[in-house]
Amino acid sequence: MESIEEHPYFFQSGRYEGMSLEWVFVKNPLYISRIYRNQFIHKRNYLKRVENRLELAIDTLQKKLRAMDVVKMCPICKEHKVHYFLLPDRGQVNSSLISCEKEECKKELKSFRPGELYTISDFLLIIPYMEKREAKSVISIFKKSHPIQLLASLV
């Protein structure tokens, strides 16, 4: 984590005025995910300078999430740390539908339940497009597999 360049960002307005991006992320990841999505929509529009600073800060946050030590083991092989969650073609996201990076485990998870695999640490990119209930399940998968309190202690 030392090699990641810091780009601190504090919200200037809105419900989290004065709070850091990381603090808000820990409290309300869904809020950050929506900002993340909106960045791409409003990129060429207003407040370009502010948007760019926020974009840098969110990119830094994303790098930190990817570099975090995972604390949960793969429920299939029980040998490696989890890496993916499954978005099932039918039915709900479920915290037991996870696997490590091994091909055998990915295959077994998909045979158990057809769907798409997504990287758990990249969940911010995916949840803005989900129903709130599903998004909350994905957030809970992230929180159970990553030491999010470490991030909070840096804030």
Say whether 52 sits in a helix, a strand or coil. Answer: helix
**Least separation in angstroms between CB 80 and Zn ion:** 5
**Least separation in angstroms between CB 13 and Zn ion:** 44
> Closest CB to Zn ion among 65 and 76?
76
> Closest CB to Zn ion among 105 and 127?
105
User: For residue 91, which phi and psi values (nearest 5 degrees)?
Assistant: 85, -175
> Closest CB to Zn ion among 74 and 120?
74
**Least separation in angstroms between CB 25 and Zn ion:** 28
> Closest CB to Zn ion among 25 and 84?
84
**Least separation in angstroms between CB 111 and Zn ion:** 14
Q: Please list, in sequence order, all residues whose beta carbon lies within 8 angstroms of the beta carbon of residue 81, skipping any fewer than 6 positions away.
A: 70, 71, 72, 73, 74, 100, 145
**Least separation in angstroms between CB 98 and Zn ion:** 9
Joined tokens for residue 16: 């989290």
Q: What is the 3-state secondary structure (H, E, C) of 67-127?
A: HCCCCCECCCCCCCECCEEEEECCCCCCCCCEECCCHHHHHHHHHHCCEEEEEHHHHHHHH
> Closest CB to Zn ion among 104 and 131?
104
C-alpha 81/C-alpha 71 separation (Å) is 7
101 touches 42 (CB < 8 A): no
Provide the binding-site residues for Zn ion, judged by CB under 5 A: 74, 76-77, 80, 100, 102, 105
